[in-house]
Amino acid sequence: MNKKPELLAPAGSLEKLKIAVKYGADAVYLAGKSFGLRARATNFSESELLEGLHFAHINGVKVYVTVNILAHNPDIDRLPSYVRWLQTAGVDAVIVADIGVLSLIKEHAPGLEVHVSTQANVTNFKSAEVMKKLGASRVVVARELSIDEIAQIRQKADIEVESFIHGAMCMAYSGRCLLSSYMTGRSANRGDCAQPCRWSYHLVEQQRPGEYMPVESDDRGTYIMSSKDLMAMEFLDKLVYAGIDSLKIEGRMKSVHYVATVVNAYRQALDSIYNGEEFNSSKWIAELKKASNREFTSGFYHGKADHTAQNVHSTKGDTEYDFVGIVQDNSDQKKHAIIEQRNHFSQGEEVEIMMPGGIIKKAAIKNIWDEEGNVMEKAPHPQQLVKVALDTDVKEFAILRREK
């Protein structure tokens, strides 16, 4: 069997970084306040990035920083000082889409490892070879490739290969889209996508202005460009055998619950493959469905994606569980914990607890107290800190969720 691939998780904020690390990521990717393609994620100030780097590194986890905008001239003027700072800070790699940016990094921060973003549309081994000659150590291949095509790139090009395995899919080719810029003035290729592909649409005939016709018989319109979410768990073992070096989860804009659930599921599944256990994907697919998703598709991994990869009925994700809280501290007593509330919960409720290390178990909330020690029947306020008595032990960073 090939070496175990890296599990690469999204970190849209410092909290999400810590969750990804604790739930089993080998590496995380994030953005500073500039030059990344998720401008509306929380992203990291310099002090937060340094704190995140320290937390990740003491836990043996790598940190990659996105510098993957399609740069314009003013960006080029501002980049040298930024990439020099990233090198000094000790980030493990930067992710770039623009070959001019790649060249600039090699000139001003030669110690930085460079990974080429999926935005660069690497779809063949010759492109991968060119990226290596330019100084890249890894390519994030385009999402439009099959397992066999990715395996051939890995075999023929002497460069690491990273591929997306889970998360939102873009209706444009590897994310290169002008819809947002055209319709809202917010450029997707500069990190500010408004996601108009997720909006509801009707048709209008040129000679009949104001007469809107639904594409399907639905008074909400239709989401004709909205893709289902990618999910590769069903054939994760085949991706391992293809020799992919890094398996990437999309989702810097997603919730803490999403990051914990998805990273945990893929971590346990990968470990089971390498432990020689029978690969039971259905178990982990059921777990993935507990996080918000727009239904699942295998994307292009088995060949060209067809109409079944689109969800024309809705743009919103759905989940079978509500995220109700996260354990901030359990140092008082094993069965008592400080919980940060994320959704209302009440004394006597049954919840499911997911903990770092893959432990998932049911528990009952026996008592609730506020920060002054007053007894509460329920925790109704968002992000309120409460002390909770449970009928089982918990760990810091444990996630409490409730079946709908």
Could you tell me the CA-to-CA distances from 125 to 139, 152, 241 in Å, in that order? Answer: 10, 7, 18
Same-domain check for residues 21 and 63: yes
Rounded (10°) angle between helices 14-22 and 46-58: 10
Q: Which long-range contacts (CB under 8 A, 24 or more apart) does 315-320 make?
A: 315/198, 315/199, 315/200, 315/223, 315/226, 317/229, 317/292, 317/293, 318/292, 318/293, 318/294, 319/289, 319/290, 319/291, 319/292, 319/293, 319/404, 320/289, 320/290, 320/403, 320/404
Q: Does residue 27 lie within any of the structural domains?
A: yes
- CB proximity list for 55: less than 8 A, separation 6 or greater: 17, 18, 21
Number of domains in the chain: 2
* Mode of pairing for the β-strands spanning 345-346 and 336-341: unpaired
| Model confidence, pTM | 0.85
Round to whole Å and give the CA distance between 218 and 215.
8
Tell which residue, 249, 383, 252, 263, has the closest CA to residue 19.
263
Q: Does residue 398 lie within any of the structural domains?
A: yes
**Element (DSSP H or E) covering residue 375:** strand 375-376
Q: Does residue 150 lie within any of the structural domains?
A: yes
Q: Per residue in 228-274, pLDDT tens?
A: 889 999 999 999 999 999 999 998 889 999 999 999 999 999 999 99
CATH number at residue 329: 2.40.30.10
Q: 312 and 217 in contact (C-beta within 8 Å)?
A: no
Q: Per residue in 175-219, pLDDT tens?
A: 656 666 656 777 665 566 777 766 777 667 777 777 766 555 444
Round to whole Å and give the CA distance between 78 and 12.
23
Q: Does residue 213 lie within any of the structural domains?
A: no
Q: 280 exposed, middle or buried (CB, 10 Å; 0-12, 13-18, 19+)?
A: exposed
When pLDDT is averaged across residues 86-106 and rounded to a whole number, the result is: 96
Same-domain check for residues 269 and 325: no
CATH number at residue 20: 3.20.20.60
DSSP string, 324-361: EEEEEEEEEETTEEEEEESS-EETT-EEEEEETTTEEE
Q: Single out the residue in 257, 272, 305 at which a domain terminates.
A: 305
Same-domain check for residues 108 and 18: yes
Q: Per residue in 97-145, pLDDT tens?
A: 999 999 999 999 999 999 999 989 999 999 999 999 999 999 999 988 9
Q: 355 and 398 in contact (C-beta within 8 Å)?
A: yes
Same-domain check for residues 94 and 135: yes
Task: Output the pLDDT for position 68.
Answer: 87
Same-domain check for residues 33 and 118: yes
Q: Does residue 179 lie within any of the structural domains?
A: no
Task: Output the pLDDT for position 315.
Answer: 53
Q: 119 exposed, middle or buried (CB, 10 Å; 0-12, 13-18, 19+)?
A: buried
Rg, the chain, Cα only: 22
Domain range for 143: 6-170+226-305
Q: Does residue 212 lie within any of the structural domains?
A: no
For the record, the structure tokens of 296 come out as 């699942």
Round to whole Å and give the CA distance between 44 and 20.
15
Residue 388 has pLDDT above 70, yes or no: yes
Same-domain check for residues 243 and 348: no
Same-domain check for residues 232 and 347: no
Same-domain check for residues 103 and 230: yes
Q: Does residue 186 lie within any of the structural domains?
A: no
Same-domain check for residues 291 and 245: yes
Q: Does residue 162 lie within any of the structural domains?
A: yes
Q: 7 and 24 in contact (C-beta within 8 Å)?
A: yes
Same-domain check for residues 166 and 272: yes
Q: Per residue in 353-384, pLDDT tens?
A: 999 998 999 999 999 999 999 999 999 998 99
Same-domain check for residues 15 and 130: yes
Q: What are phi and psi of 256, to 5 degrees?
A: -60, -40
Q: Single out the residue in 279, 305, 331 at which a domain terminates.
A: 305
Same-domain check for residues 383 and 240: no
Rounded to the nearest 10 degrees, how much is the dihedral formed by the CA atoms of 84, 86, 92, 97?
-80
Place of tokens 């039971």: 280
